Amino acid sequence: MAKQPHSEKLSFPDNGLAIVLFGEADAHLRLIEHQLGVVISPRGNALALTGRKSAIKKTRQLLTELYAMLERGETVDLHRVEDGLKAMTEETDLGDVYASELLIKTPKRNIYPRNARQAAYIESILTADMTFAIGPAGTGKTYLAVAAAVSAYLEGRVGRIILTRPAVEAGERLGFLPGDLQAKVDPYLRPLYDALYDMLGGEKVEKLTAQGVLEIAPLAYMRGRTLEEAFIILDEGQNTTPEQMKMFLTRLGEGSKMVISGDVTQIDLPAGQMSGLVQALAVLKGVKDIRTAVFTARDVVRHGLVEKIVRAYEADSSSSRSGKGGKG
């Protein structure tokens, strides 16, 4: 005789929160059904769960965690459901993904870790004065660092935000590009502007820039300065030379934090030139109070196809250096 599927009931006290939990047209429930192999039948603020006991247990755990987030006033959307399902697939503790104390609040949106490595990365930024973030495009290295910087400024923990990246020429010499110096370097800094506009809005970014609170500049502008009471982010760190990286790291002043992000598989320096990021990781290994967060393709949080692309390139160990020039 075929074994009968297991059935359980699950209910939520607040009808309004239950509607948000289930998603528009029950989209969140449909996704959970598809991923965990259960049948979920909503009736008002209650659910009938049918399937294997192990699958029902996971469904109950996920929905209970998501409901608790709603009770705390946090956002639950399809991305949050996907993050929880991915964590379960990887046998990651949901508490690491949905940790409320790691929520970063900015004027235009609340930003949260979408996987366990992002959660550990945010915790490192909050507790250490210097954090390195290494990994492929799409893992949130720069975006989360900018979010932490914005939050730190708004909470009065730093007095200014400084964002920088090396202006690697990538086949085009700056001297031959049209416009003044700012116009020439702006394309290199555009990803940093994009993140700021997403969190603060264009008007606020322009106002803070005019006040000198926000500075977005090429790495060369950091030379000879001591940066105190500031949150400083170096993006695309793999494209620094050892001399540039040492210069940057030694700008750290009292009351400041630094985050250095990069992808050591995407080095655009001339052939034979050592990457300052690669050298720094080796030289500073084991130095107390410096943290390193390492991301892999499985941590990509962009379109699902991006993760597959990154994995394919990682697997192609015979790729030539000329095939590693893309930005992300």
The full set of domain ranges for the chain reads 6-98, 101-323
Q: Which range is least confidently modeled, 13-22, 169-178, 202-211, 311-320?
A: 169-178
Residue range 18-33: mean pLDDT, rounded? 94
CB half-sphere exposure, 77, CA atoms < 13 A: 6
| Band (113; pLDDT cuts 50, 70, 90) | confident
The fourth-level CATH superfamily of domain 101-323 is P-loop containing nucleotide triphosphate hydrolases (3.40.50.300)
Residue range 147-172: mean pLDDT, rounded? 84
Q: Give the pLDDT confidence of 69-93 residue by residue, as tens digits.
A: 899 888 899 888 988 898 888 777 8
Q: Give the pLDDT confidence of 261-308 residue by residue, as tens digits.
A: 999 999 989 888 999 999 999 999 989 899 999 998 888 876 666 667
Q: Give the pLDDT confidence of 40-79 residue by residue, as tens digits.
A: 999 999 999 999 999 999 999 999 999 998 998 888 998 8
Q: Give the pLDDT confidence of 212-228 residue by residue, as tens digits.
A: 999 988 888 898 899 99
| Band (328; pLDDT cuts 50, 70, 90) | very low
**What's the CA gap between 129 and 151, in Å, rounded?**
15
**What's the CA gap between 67 and 61, in Å, rounded?**
10
Same fold: 6-98 with 101-323: no
Residue range 133-137: mean pLDDT, rounded? 93
DSSP alpha helix (H) spans, the chain: 15-22, 27-36, 53-71, 78-89, 94-97, 116-127, 141-154, 181-200, 202-210, 242-249, 276-283, 304-315
Nearest to 258, CA basis, from 267, 268, 247, 269 = 247
- In Å, what is the CA distance from 134 to each residue of 77, 137, 142, 167, 320? 28, 10, 10, 19, 21
**What's the CA gap between 40 and 30, in Å, rounded?**
8
Question: What is the maximum span of the chain, computed from C-alpha positions, in angstroms?
Answer: 80
Mean pLDDT of the chain: 85
Total residues belonging to the chain: 328
**What's the CA gap between 21 and 28, in Å, rounded?**
7
Between these two residues, 285 and 2, which has the higher pLDDT value? 285
pTM of the model: 0.73
- H/E/C letters for each residue in 93-153? CHHHHCCHHHCEECCCCEECCCCHHHHHHHHHHHHCCEEEEECCCCCCHHHHHHHHHHHHH
- In Å, what is the CA distance from 39 to each residue of 29, 36, 78, 95, 188? 9, 9, 18, 25, 49
Q: Which residue has the tokens 């399902």?
A: 85
Q: Which two tokens stand for residue 235?
A: 């993006």
The listed range with the strongest mean pLDDT (136-140, 159-163, 192-196, 269-273) is 159-163
pLDDT at 87: 83
Fold of 6-98: Ribosomal Protein S8; Chain: A, domain 1 (3.30.1370)
pLDDT at 145: 95
Q: Which range is least confidently modeled, 122-136, 182-196, 258-272, 312-326?
A: 312-326
Q: With b meaning 16 or more CB within 10 Å and e meaning fewer, what string describes 142-178?
A: bbbbbbbbbbbbeeeebebbbbbbbbbeeeeeeeeee
pLDDT at 179: 52
